[in-house]
Amino acid sequence: MNNVNVVFIVPSDLPWRYDMRRILEDRVKERSDLYELLVEFIDAEDEYPADEKAGTFLLKKYAQNMEVLNGFRDRGQKSIQEYLKKNEVLRNRIIWVKGLTGTAAKDWMEFCKNYSSEGINTGLFVLEVHNVGNIVESSNLKSISYEGNISANDIQVFNEFILNEEHGSDELWNNYIATVTACLCDQDAEISELLIRTNIFKSEPPECGLQRIAGMQKYQRRGGDEHSSHILALVRNNDENEINRRIWIAQVKILFPIIEMERNAIIKKYKTNIEYALQYNDIGQYNEKLVYPEDVELGTLIYMMHNNAPNSEYRMLYIPEQEVRDRISFLRECRNTIAHAKICNPQQVKELVTSHNSFVK
């Protein structure tokens, strides 16, 4: 709308690409006072010959008559850009070239740098490019980057909106699912949303939903680039290590704090008992004598609960509720799993998240 050609830098697996193009086309037409404005899409992979220059391609495709088509001379006084403008070859058009990479992308960007448009009347360009290096802007060519505007945090917040629609206000559970799907799907919010809507996280691992999505015809090309790190490529290649690493990152963010909050709550509730045990028993942790209850880790709590005090038939620490004793053992199991860079299974996650509030009251 500012009469400048635009380079749109996008990932090769751009989410909602068709909806995005349609919506932007509608917005441009709404804001333009030109009734005859056309937004024309060119698929570089299918329509643009690799050995042809951008200007020549445009002249052949849009010249209205043979005189204009055959009138340009490479060694003439006018550049191909000036010739196209003078003859109104691109009048009332926005040419949106999608799927540009490598040499073709560089050729089109160089062409647009030298295409000094006077607005829609002389034509404008949107170059949708990926896998290119630094973009050198000019007065005729500006760039917009998907990565520069969409962050991992944006994806997670978006996921939480979807989850509030799907599951209501179960904040902690929604936060876990939103984080896992964001870590797994990276920039692809479309796949992230679909995973949220189709995977039953309380009973199945996210890989189950991802396998179903990977088999859908609509997404056969998603993650199709060589050496792609897209989540669907990882699923098709059975890259369990990377998939689990992404889930683990999410569990570190969400489950570790849950475990720590419950440890603190348990210590606070039984602080007097723990203080007594530390005072009358020589208990060490990380090669240091424990003095303060707040420093007691889960493993040490279990040690104190299962071992007698010296010269005594009584345990160092007695916690009367079986439910709490079981929870401490469960928390240690989950913590050790995550601490050793492994992931908790869906049943463990469900137990941690759904029972958390009852243990931190």
pLDDT (tens digit, 9 = 90+) per residue, 188-206?
Answer: 999 999 999 999 998 999 9
Q: In the chain, what percentage of residues exceed pLDDT 70? A: 98
- Residue 340 to residue 353: CA distance in whole angstroms: 20
Res 130: pLDDT: 87
Res 135: pLDDT: 83
Q: Is the pLDDT of residue 85 over 80?
A: yes
Q: 33 or 261: whose pLDDT is higher?
A: 261
Q: In the chain, what percentage of residues exceed pLDDT 90? A: 66
- What average pLDDT does the segment 106-121 reach? 89
Res 50: pLDDT: 78
Confidence of residue 179 (pLDDT cuts 50, 70, 90): very high
Which of 238, 182, 253 is closest to 207 using CA atoms?
A: 238
121 DSSP assignment: G
Q: Is the pLDDT of residue 76 over 80?
A: no
Q: Is the pLDDT of residue 166 over 80?
A: no
Which of 186, 178, 157, 172 is closest to 255 using CA atoms?
A: 172
- For the chain, the first-to-last Cα distance in angstroms comes to 56
Q: Is the pLDDT of residue 134 over 80?
A: no
Maximum average pLDDT range among 134-143, 293-302, 306-315: 293-302
What stretches of 120-239 show up as alpha helix (H) in DSSP? 146-149, 152-167, 171-185, 189-198, 206-214, 231-236
Res 249: pLDDT: 97
What's the pLDDT tens digit per position in 37-72? 889 999 998 888 878 899 999 999 999 889 998 888
Lowest mean pLDDT among 84-93, 235-244, 303-312: 303-312
Confidence of residue 148 (pLDDT cuts 50, 70, 90): confident
Collect all residues with Cβ–Cβ distance below 8 Å to 62 and sequence separation of at least 6: 89, 90, 93
Res 35: pLDDT: 65
Q: Is the pLDDT of residue 147 over 90?
A: no
- Residue 143 to residue 159: CA distance in whole angstroms: 28
Average pLDDT, the chain: 91
- Please name the residue that has the structure tokens 């419950």: 262
Neighbours of 169 (CB within 10 A): 8
Q: Is the pLDDT of residue 357 over 70?
A: yes
Q: Is the pLDDT of residue 360 over 80?
A: no
Confidence of residue 336 (pLDDT cuts 50, 70, 90): very high
Q: Is the pLDDT of residue 19 over 90?
A: yes
Res 163: pLDDT: 92
Distances from the Cα of 258 to the Cαs of 41, 263, 265, in angstroms? 50, 9, 11
